[in-house]
Amino acid sequence: MKEINIKYSQAVKEALEKGLPVLALESTIIAHGMPYPENVATAIRVEEIAREHGAVPATIAIIGGQLCAGLEKKEIERLGKAGYKVPKVSRRDIPFVMASGGMGATTVASTMIIAAMAGIPVFATGGIGGVHRGAEKTMDVSADLEELARTNVAVVSAGAKSILDLKLTLEYLETKGVPVVGFGTDEFPAFYTRKSGLGVDYRIDDVAYLAKALHLKWSAGIEGGVLVANPIPEAVGMEFEQVEEAIQIAIQDADRLDYEGKRLTPYLLGRIKELTDGKSLEANMQLVFNNVKLGAQLAVAYSKL
């Protein structure tokens, strides 16, 4: 894979050549995150926020069988219009989607892989995958966690998706040696809500300090990523009890309909949106915007090192 050429947008290519800050962004949120045309408008707004805070956005995807770091607006439009017809691509799927010559929407894991190949050390997303509830029976553990253990990229997210078993997710990350940093918080955020009742490894309030820690980690040859847990803004965060009630109903419905594997998370998120009268979708969008802001600031601070 290391010998495969990456297609860079002109802006990303020039930024990397000049050592300017670049922020990686995923594309599953475009194809699978929300309906067209809201998905395209959101993706364009996300890129604008990155630029406003000093970083060149590099939306990651597979287009025409080629790994891409940075998309043109027409390519974002293609992904958004195609929607769920575009395969969701994780680590295992990359070579097969490339071989097909088609499009692929990258998850956290595959975005990390391609970002690392492209030389982009900071990536902002909504929330990572993790250990699913009931995993002691299903063994359903997201590939995102393994990628964090092996790939040198800092992932800025609003914690992990609250549909997951957050305690087991944090224990898994601890086992794999992945530092969990709470940015401005002592408590691990749970996606839609700032609260989980669970702690983080380190609370850091200063972007420059965080960038220095990342630089020292990778300069010392300590492989693997860092999870930067950035809580949803208080003004748009949802109450923990409201979110948990909706999750429990959604999980029961998913069990009844026999949803599992790749179909499970999209179903749960969609059902939670229905149960919260759309509040979860608005919260999702706002937390992504917030993470992109922090991700861009971190990319700027890291580039100075």
What amino acid positions are annotated as catalytic residues? 26, 161
Q: Give 224-281 as a 3 state SS string.
A: CCEEEECCCCCCCCCCHHHHHHHHHHHHHHHHHHCCCHHHHHHHHHHHHHHHCCCHHH
Nearest to 287 by CA among 156, 100, 154: 156
Q: How far is CA 168 from CA 129, 171, 241, in A?
A: 12, 5, 20
Q: How far is CA 290 from CA 124, 133, 287, in A?
A: 9, 27, 5
Q: Write the DSSP assignment of 62-86 as a string of letters.
A: EETTEEEES--HHHHHHHHHHGGGS
Is the distance from CB of 14 to CB of 256 less than 8 angstroms?
A: no
